[in-house]
Structure 1
Amino acid sequence: MELSEVDLNLLLLFQRLMQERRVATVAEQMNMSQPGVSNALAKLRRLLDDPLFVRAPGGVVPTPFAIRLAEPVSHALSTLHAALNPETGFDALRVTRKVTIGMTDIGEVVFLPALVERLSREAPGIALNTVRDTSVNLGNEMAEGRVDLAIGLLPQLKGGFYQRRLFDQRYVCLFRRGHALEDAPLTLAAWRKAEHLVVVSAGTGHGQVDDWLKRRGVQRRVRLTVPHFMSVGYILQRTDLIATVPERLALQLAAPFSLSLRALPSTLPEAPIHLLWHARVNQDEGNRWLRNVVIDLFADSATPARRTKSV
């Protein structure tokens, strides 16, 4: 038998008869006439090729087949009811789920320590997973539900997404403590003369620093180029190289790697860092709760969420 052959109302009637064992009572509960209940039961009997219920003193009794059928039918109807009527009130302390966030290596350094610490206290059943926004098609992954949130400078996420600006990322100069530039004025000439560690983070918004410098003809003595930010602290700690990096990353690296940071001698454009989520989860209570945690931890000011424009 195919499910398309079965009317859901017949299964509801079957469940009620199993519980009440009286046609008159079921008719009243389901706002039907007794002949209507009898006709519906007759249809179900034909579909299942079993009497299901037989007359007995005071009502009806189920057949052995009906008894075997009762538990799976009840479970199926209960599952369907729960899916159509989800409980309200997200309980972070009791929820168990896996959450995937798209972010860069900078994001992992800047956001994850505080976020994991907060979740350990307030939502210990949430397991975090991160993906690089450059290693997957982030828009598709979020639209299809495999990535829940994204944090960063992500201009490629346009139609169908909501975004909330967290802060404007400033850039600073980072170098080891005891470097010749630590006590001397950091002039543009001194900055240009120093040997630089440059991060070419393909596919991220941080490439705008190099683009901005090139457009203005600002030359640097590039000694080393690396494809990501994860090695920056280790390299600067043991060399005289300097690096131009996002300020929040510099603040995270300074103490563990004995580094100093200074304002740049030339003002670079700030990078707007956003929290983004797909429209499909905008009303999801768990996603909303997690968004609020991220905003509480990292947002500079209370700017409202807005939906990105379609393309």
Structure 2
Amino acid sequence: MDLNKVDLNLLLVFNQLVIERRVSRVAESLGISQPAVSNALNRLRKLLNDDLFLRTSHGMEPTPRALQLAEPIAYAIDTIKSALSQESVFEPATSTRSFTIAATDIGEIYFLPPLLNRLAEMAPGVTLSTIRHNPANLKDDMESGRADFAIGLLPQLQGSFFRQRLFRQRFVCVFRNQHPLAKRKIVSKEDFYSAKHAVVVLHGTGHGEIDKLIDGKGAERRIQLSVPHFVAMGHILQETDLIATLPERLAKRLEGPFKLTCVPHPVKLPDHSIDLFWHAKLHRDPANQWLRRLLFELFTV
């Protein structure tokens, strides 16, 4: 058999099935979903042309072929683990590790300054880079290791991904201090829908659901400007009478520098969870674990 055709992750699933005999326990042990375990088993069955495990009242019973493979596969996995164990310690003070985070520009504005300041204190040799959330490629980027983490509202990351909530995000209505609406303590729905709007159309995240709620039930905004990112929104709102719906934490960062006013949103909108995501294969990686803890410490509320 050509080893180039064998995904070694499948052997990890096989070995754990020999030990656990139940798909649910294997999923829990490996930090992946039950469908991912079943998919791996189906791939192995096709690859080896054998059922390997049969479902019984006592769990998944191995076939004679599976029993024949169990010992050499277990030995191979133990050998690899032993070889890699010498690399299992992460020393932030001396590390030159580079991490890549998939984030929007709002994520860069909110997360990067405090994170970089903390890294300068604790891990001066560690570097960061970011890539954009691309709905077509994000899963592949995470699975391949091109991205170590993703941050945001990302409902498409399911299955073999872990997630940890950082905080709940509210949305607010934002406009410049000299806007006619700034004189009012409360912006009504009528005021909101009568005004001209700048909107951010952000593909690949959950923000599109907010737009659907705002423009639903027969009410639609008077949209004068649509942009694909948040980064210019402060400049745009500062110089025009447009208003915008923005995540509250971004709005608070823009409020002072751009002389903006933030008010409660007149449309009842749900809070959204902003989560940190990482792939199962990095779940036990010491460097990944260290940066996760740092992110939780800085941003979990």
Indicate the SS of the match to 2:86.
coil
- Superposed CA deviations along residues 213-267 of structure 1, whole A, max 9, x for unmatched, are 2332222121211121111011001011110011111011111111111111122
Cα 1:283–1:178 shift into 2, 3 Å: same
1-structure distance, mates of 2:236, 2:277: 32
Aligned to 2:205: 204
Query: Aligned to 1:117, what secondary structure does the other structure show?
Result: helix
SS in 2 for 1:90: coil
What residue is the counterpart of 2:216 in the other structure?
215
Q: Give unmatched runs, 5+ long, in structure 2.
A: 1-79
1:274 equivalenced with 2:275 (yes/no): yes
| Structure 1 residue ranges (4+ consecutive) displaced by more than 4 angstroms after TM superposition | 80-83
Using the aligned pairs only, state the percent identity.
Answer: 48
TM-score, structure 2 length as denominator? 0.70
Structure 1 residues 121 and 135 mapped into 2: Cα distance closer, same or farther (>3 Å)? Answer: farther
3-state secondary structure, aligned to 2:180: coil
In 1: Cα distance, 2:300 partner to 2:217 partner? 31
Separation (CA, whole Å) in 2 of partners of 1:162 and 1:89: 22
Whether the aligned pair in 1 keeps the contact of 2:170 and 2:247 (CA below 8 Å) is: yes
**Residue 176 (structure 2) aligns with:** 176
Paired residues of 2:170 and 2:272 also in contact (CA < 8 A): yes
- State yes or no: 1:255 paired with 2:256: yes
Task: State the aligned residue count.
Answer: 221
Q: Does 1:160 align with 2:152?
A: no
Give the superposition deviation at 1:272. Answer: 1.3
Q: Give distance in 1, aligned partners of 2:198 and 2:81.
A: 59
- 1:230 matched to 2:231? The reply is yes
Aligned partner of residue 163 in structure 1, secondary structure: strand
Bigger radius of gyration: 1
Distance in 2, Cα, partners of 1:276 & 1:154: 9
Counting only pairs closer than 5 Å after superposition, residues 1-311 of structure 1 correspond to structure 2 as 83-134=83-134, 137-184=137-184, 185-300=186-301
TM-score w.r.t. the length of structure 1 is 0.68
* Structure 1: gaps spanning 5 or more residues: 1-79, 301-311
Residues 178 and 81 (structure 1), Cα distance of their counterparts in 2 relative to 1, 3 Å cut: closer
| Matching residue's letter, 2:261 | S
Q: What's the RMSD between the two structures over aligned residues?
A: 1.8
